[in-house]
């Protein structure tokens, strides 16, 4: 009879350990989701800030190649034209991604 109770204990331990990977994966998913919820807005804001800085640097470089220095009267128009070109390009990419073209 003694061996029977030991076998039952072994089966219970095996059953417990078989759930452990699922528990670890579940905890990892919950932790990742929590991190995204808590830090997502700040990360998005930082990404938008970096994108705006990158666009400003591109505008300066491209307009200066056209001999329109930053701060000049024509720089705003140059940056506006570049912004419109980016918008049109984004629209084309969206259409291509949607499979319309």
Which class for 6: exposed (0-12), middle (13-18), buried (19 or more C-beta within 10 A)? Answer: exposed
Return the H-helix or E-strand segment holding 95: helix 75-98
Q: Residue 1 above 50 pLDDT?
A: no
For residues 70 and 64, the answer to whether their CB atoms sit within 8 Å is yes
Which pTM was predicted? 0.58
pLDDT of res. 40: 86
Query: Where do the structural domains in the chain lie, given as residue ranges?
Result: 2-98
Could you read off the pLDDT of 21-57 as tens digits, one per residue?
888 898 899 988 888 888 888 989 999 999 999 999 9
**CA atoms of 20 and 22, how far apart (whole Å):** 5
Q: Residue 11 above 70 pLDDT?
A: no
């Amino acid at each position: 009879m003694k061996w029977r109770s030991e076998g039952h204990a072994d089966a219970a331990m095996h059953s417990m350990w078989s759930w452990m990977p699922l528990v670890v994966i579940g905890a990892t998913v919950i932790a990742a989701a929590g991190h995204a919820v808590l830090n997502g807005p700040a990360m998005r804001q930082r990404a938008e800030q970096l994108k705006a800085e990158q666009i400003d640097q591109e505008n300066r470089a491209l307009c200066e190649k056209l001999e329109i220095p930053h701060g000049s009267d024509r720089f705003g128009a140059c940056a506006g034209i570049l912004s419109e070109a980016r918008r049109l390009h984004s629209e084309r990419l969206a259409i291509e991604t949607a499979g319309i073209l």
